[in-house]
Structures are given as structure tokens and as C-alpha cells.
Amino acid sequence: MTLKVASSIFIICLILFCSCKSEKKNDAKPVTEDSAFSPVETKEPNTAEYKPAFESQTRAPGARTETELDVKVLSDSLVNPWGIVSLPDGRLLITENAGNMRIVTNTGVLSEPITGLPKVNAEGQGGLLGVNIDPDFTNNRVVYWSFSEDQPGGTLTAVAKGRLALDEKKIENVKIIYKALPAFKSTLHYGSRIVFDKDGNLFVSTGERSDIQSRPQAQQLNSALGKIVRITKDGKPAPGNPFAGRPDVKPEIYSYGHRNVQGLAVHPVTGDLWNGEFGPRGGDEINLVRPGKNYGWPVITYGIEYNGRKIGDSITKKAGMEQPVYYWDPVISPSGMIFYNADLIPEWKNNLLMSCLSGMHIVRLVIKNDKVVGEERLLSGEQQRFRDITVGKDGALYAVCDGEKGRLYRIGKK
């Protein structure tokens, strides 16, 4: 064999070797619609004996955004922000846990605190919580928010509304329109997000207040704890609610068996309601919420107690109780969420984007036929506890983070 031939064979073999090595290194990259990355979660589950009810109910294939993103910190001057909503002019309305509400420009300039709000109990997980604006805000300037309110028997999740004054310094004509009774002596698990249905009614999420004693109320239809309720703009049970007319049942209840729902979003195409729900140690959930359905807590769960003990009969399935569309173990602590309905980043269209606290990232879920087919973790390198997220009028995402120097992020396109 000549030196020239041997050299040629060596080069060919080297090319083949490198090609194979390259394929192995990138074997998780999506090259067709049916291919995907490896699941983003690599840690061992807390409950390895709990098996998913169907394929991709957990640890779905990974996904990756191809669009080059432009990530900016617009402010780090918010104090424990909790809720964020986009105003018609592109500015943002943000709640701060201690009881403040502020308007922030999309360049990060903060207003002074807006006055006129009722007192909140900001201990534990309480405070000024979710916020949304009336669908006709341009004309009526009405704002809705949830908060933890002191009561003689403890605290509860309350919903109020009021008109943002023209000078934007005060909320006027404040009225508390709903209280999630009964009150309970706990400062944990209040929920609480607010979104509108297509008819202009409010969906409001509540928590079951965490305590072993209060948990069973998530299953009780004479209690508003551990529920999603559907009410009118005046706080009355919305027409067509699933339990209307039944004795000893709260007519505002839309769904039940929830633990602590801090994420609510309406799909922009189907109009379906989805929620994000805290599990205990393991078992964070995404649910497709149907009227009158029971979502299982605390009877079924994919999690365990924080001390490692089993919950109840340690079951994940039971007849008459809904399975989550998706769950996480270990947890990511899912908080505010939204479906992406803008055109700035087309590959995100109708994807679910959710802020994560202990997970310290924004999760992107690709959903097809009501199943999760892809999961991505965005901004994980920022190491921030993301609390809530919204889509701005410019098509960018705006997200707020926990902390005394709470950040406001803008995630757009380069």
C-alpha cells in the first residue's frame, strides 16, 4: 500500500469517526418534527415507585427555542413582586407582596405606590397577590386583585376591584367582591390568580391553606378552599356554574380538589382553562380544568410530605378524579403562567410559559392535543425565583422575580 493510499484511507476513516462522534454528541437535537432533545429533568424523583398514568405525563422530551432571544433586566427595585399584567398602552401593572401596586414602563421606570388599597396580611405566603384588568379597561379603568385578608377566625383569600384614577395615583371606589370562606388560622396556600373567561366572568384560584386539618376541605363542596371559583364582576356565582342549585354546595365553585393554584391561563384558541398547581415534595401539576371536575388533592398525588412520609393512602389514581396533564418530581414550584399569543417569537405560538420559584427558571411547554410534547427551561442561568409572567403589547415576555430587590425581566427577540 502506497503512502498516498494509506493517507487517503486514514482521512476517510477520520471523517467517518468524527461524523459518528458528532451524531452521538448531538443525538438529542431535533432535526424533524418527531425528534426531540432528552428530557430537561435529570434528577432522581422523590417517589420513584410512582409511575405516570400515560406517556409524557412527566419528563417529556426536551425542546429548544431556535429564535435568538434578547434578555434584559429592566429593574431590580421591586420589593417581592407577586403579580403582573400588561396595560393597553404597553406599560405594566405590578403588585408587591406587602400591599403596594405600581405601574412600570417597559423600560423599567417605576411609579410611586398606588394608594387606596385595602390592608393585607403579608405574613407567610400572604399579601397583595394576583392582579388583572377589566377586558374593557380602556373605557372603565377597572382593576381586579386578590389578597389575604384578616378575619376573626383567621385569614382568607379575598378579591377586590376598583377604578384606577386618571392621575394613576389612587384606586377609587374600592369594593371587596368575594371572600373564599371559611377563614382559617394559617398564613399559607392562598392561591391566587385571576383570569377572565370569554363572557367576562372571573376565574379565581384558592389554596387549601396547607394545614393537615384544612386539607380535606379541598374535597368539600361547602368550602371555597382548594378550589377554582367562577364569579361575575360583582362577585356573584357566574351563570352556568356546574353546581348551581345544589343544596349545601357553594355555587361559585367551578372545580375542586386543588392544593395551591398559583397559575391560571386561558388558551387563546380553544378558550380552555389551564392551571399550574403546587404539589408537596414532588407532584407539581399542570391541569386542563373542566367544570365540576375533581382534581384529587389530597386523596391522589404524585408527591409525598416534606418530611418524606406518604400522603393518605399513597395512591396516584382513583375513579372520579382527574389526572394531571403533566407533573414534576422533583418540584419546580410553578407560579404565574400564560399562553404565548403574540407574533414576535412565532415558534412559541400557543405554548404555555410558566414562572418557577424553586426551579429558578421559566418553563416552556409545547402542547399538542392537550398533551405535553416538549419542555424547555428558559433563563435558568439567571438563578432567580420567577413569580409571574405576562405577554407585553410588544410581543415580548415580562417576568417578575421574588426578593427585596425583585427583578423585572423583558424577554424579546434579537
Per-residue pLDDT tens digits for 157-187? 999 999 999 999 999 999 999 999 999 999 9
Q: Respond yes or no: is residue 361 known to be catalytic.
A: no
Distance (Å) of CA 175 to CA 56, 118, 129 = 44, 9, 16
Give just the sign of the alpha carbon dihedral 153, 99, 359, 36.
positive
pLDDT of 61 reads 97
Q: Are 234 and 264 in contact (CB under 8 A)?
A: no
Task: Evaluate if residue 102 carries a pLDDT over 70.
Answer: yes
Q: Return d(Cα 239, Cα 214) in angstroms, integer.
A: 28
Cell 410558566, residue located: 354
* Cα angle value 93/97/102 (rounded, 5°): 25
pLDDT in tens, 202-250: 999 999 999 999 999 999 999 999 999 999 999 999 999 999 999 999 9
pLDDT in tens, 302-347: 999 999 999 999 999 999 999 999 999 999 999 999 999 999 999 9
Binned at pLDDT 50, 70 and 90, residue 81 comes out as very high
This prediction's pTM: 0.91
Q: Are 81 and 94 in contact (CB under 8 A)?
A: yes
Q: Which residues contact 124 (CB under 8 A, 6 or more apart)?
A: 186, 187, 188
Q: Return d(Cα 262, Cα 208) in angstroms, integer.
A: 12
pLDDT in tens, 16-68: 333 333 333 333 333 334 446 999 999 999 998 999 999 999 999 999 999 99
pLDDT in tens, 122-163: 999 999 999 999 999 999 999 999 999 999 989 999 999 999
Q: Of 139, 179, 127, 173, which Cα lies nearest the Cα of 156?
A: 179
Q: Which residues contact 344 (CB under 8 A, 6 or more apart)?
A: 394, 395, 396, 412, 413
pLDDT in tens, 250-275: 999 999 999 999 999 999 999 999 99
pLDDT of 98 reads 97
pLDDT of 234 reads 98
Q: Are 75 and 108 in contact (CB under 8 A)?
A: yes
Task: Evaluate if residue 5 carries a pLDDT over 50.
Answer: no
Give just the sign of the alpha carbon dihedral 278, 281, 286, 287.
negative
Task: Evaluate if residue 3 carries a pLDDT over 60.
Answer: no
Cell 403588585, residue located: 95
Cell 502506497, residue located: 2
Instruction: Please give the domain boundaries of the chain with CATH numbers for all domains.
Output: 46-413 (2.120.10.30)
Catalytic residue among 189, 258, 267, 361: 189
Q: Are 337 and 353 in contact (CB under 8 A)?
A: yes
Q: Quick one: cell of 104?
A: 412600570
